[in-house]
Structure 1
Amino acid sequence: MIRDAVLRAEDLGVDVIFNWDHFYPLYGDPDAAHFECWTMLGAWAEQTQRVEFGALVTCNSYRNPDLLADMARTVDHLSGGRLVFGIGAGWFQRDYDEYGYDFGTVGSRLDALGEALPRIEARWAKLNPPPLRKIPVLIGGGGEKKTLKYVARHGDIWHSFADVDTYRHKAAVLADHCAAVGRDPSEIEHSSGVRYHGDAAATLATAEALTDAGVSLLTVDTGGPDYDLTAAKLLVDWRDRG
């Protein structure tokens, strides 16, 4: 079902497809069927032709940063250079408990992310062969003291789930962090999730408001195990109307 949904989404014309990096479902039956993130991304690299893809987002806690960089480089090659490297600090405690990782605190997980990002970049520079392109780094989250600072230093894409007013505030904070490190904030693409509850007009109004405010990448949840692409088609058609 997952492989079929990915092919349907690519045929539909979406720009990027994401999975998530969890070991158990986040909704519905907590023990329902589930698969590992990066093994799945390797399969997507082989089965797709055009679409970019990645995790929204990889949990930094689950893998050594240098290994993670190597995994990403390998999947990048498998796909011909279409991987988007999404990463975040982690939050789903069951994953940690069941697989034996130290859950720590929000602060310790964010600190670990801050330490991992330069290691990942350094490993990409050492690998032979190197990635096929400068792999886009997507950082998920809206924490103003640490996460957005990491985005300013390392991110090519910033992803959040926020209403328009909250997004504008967070974007201003990100711009301040960019100024502090001497980076042009326009270099960072802004991405946001759009909730779909069966109301096409409300969904498109949200999409228009977010894009007017500066978001250029919109994501929608397709659910599972049936993977309803109604919202994705709605946004693709809206995008193509211009």
Structure 2
Amino acid sequence: MNSRPIRIGVQIAPQHVDYSAIRQVAARLEDAGVDIIFNWDHFLPISGDEHGKHFECWTMLAAWAEQTQHVQLGPLVTAVAFRNPDLVADMARTVDHISDGRLILGIGAGAMERDFAEYGYEFGTPGGRVAALAAALPRIEQRFAKLNPPPLRKVPVLIGGGGEQRTLRLVARHADIWHWFSSGAEFARKKQVLAERCAEIGRDSGEIELSAGVNGVPEVTGTPLLEQGVTIFTLEVHGPEFDLSTVRAWVTWRDQLSE
């Protein structure tokens, strides 16, 4: 059995609702006993009306840091192309202090062309975006070391993505947590590739916590992932209703496993 605690994460979709609804569901999730609340780093809705209501990632995280007391929080994931990497480190450090050390820095290369085009960023190629992520990660680490005051602790870096030739090499070198957005046989294969990338640089792959996007019944979806070593299970909730019944089922499953 994995020695890490099992954690339930919930990604709150920051779209198609007023901010008051997002504030309320963040409070409900903390009260329900989830371990982590995430948002996402997009500029436009990713489903439904593409011109619908939508809110920005990092200002929201700062608000959550003040509002909540216990849950960890972070972006799933912030797109490195949207902000200078040194600024990302400074923002993350600041939210870490506001939250008394509860930030998870989820980061990735960015993938939705509409975001880039709408806000005037160059979308480029997948290879170019991953190269930008590769250049950014050391700068973030170096800026963390220079900031005064520094982060309250070593901010966990979560890297999302499963590109086997480049992204998983970055996970092996820089990540504390690896998140993949699907489960099943594909997850198992990419986990094996990650172990190979870690071996190439002499790192123990067991140092990297495994995180997966999930849905459905936890005994059906969660148990096979748990057997593969996954310890962070993240669901999405969408407004306007923000139905938390599935979230509560996963929290109950977590608690039963720890008994």
What residue number does 2:236 align with? 221
The yes-or-no answer on 1:240 pairing with 2:255 is yes
**Which is richer in helix?**
1
Check if 1:12 corresponds to 2:12: no
Corresponding residue for 2:41?
A: 21
- What is the TM-score of this pair, normalised by structure 1? 0.96
Aligned partners of 1:217 and 1:163: how far apart in 2? 12
Alignment of 1:52-201 (within 5 A): 52-196=72-216, 200=217
**AA partner of residue 228 (structure 2):** A
Give the Å deviation of 1:213. 1.4
> Which of 205, 210, 232 is the aligned partner of 2:220?
205
Q: Distance in 2 between matches of 1:188 and 1:127?
A: 25
Letter in 1 for 2:245: T
After the TM superposition, which of the residue ranges 205-214 and 226-235 deviates more from structure 2? 226-235
Aligned residues: 237
1:164–1:213 CA contact under 8 A, matched in 2: no
Structure 2: gaps of 5 or more residues? 1-20
1:199-231 per-position Cα deviation (integer Å, ceiling 9, x unaligned): x3xx43111111111111000011123322122
C-alpha contact 2:76 2:106 (8 A) present in aligned 1: yes
Q: Distance in 2 between matches of 1:229 and 1:177?
A: 37
By relative contact order (CA 8 Å, sep 6+), the higher-ranking structure is 2
Provide the aligned C-alpha RMSD in A: 0.9
The separation in 2 between residues aligned to 1:102 and 1:180, in whole angstroms, is 32
Rounded to whole Å, the distance in 2 between the matches of 1:241 and 1:84 is: 26
Once residues 29 and 127 of structure 1 are traced to their aligned partners in structure 2, the CA distance between those partners, rounded to angstroms, is: 40
Give the AA of the match of 1:40: M
Structure 1 counterpart of 2:17: none
Write the mapping of 1:33-44 to structure 2, written as runs, cut at 5 A: 33-44=53-64
| Structure 1 residue ranges, 4+ long, deviating more than 6 angstroms after superposition | none
Is contact 1:89-1:110 (8 Å) kept?
yes
**Equivalent-residue separation in structure 1 for 2:133 and 2:53 (angstroms):** 29
TM-score normalized by structure 2?
Answer: 0.90
Q: Distance in 1 between matches of 2:52 and 2:241?
A: 13
Instruction: Give the whole-Å Cα distance in 2 for the aligned partners of 1:206 and 1:96.
Output: 34
Once the two structures are TM-superposed, the CA of residue 135 in structure 1 deviates from its matched residue by 0.2
Alignment match of 1:2 (pick from 9, 22, 31) = 22
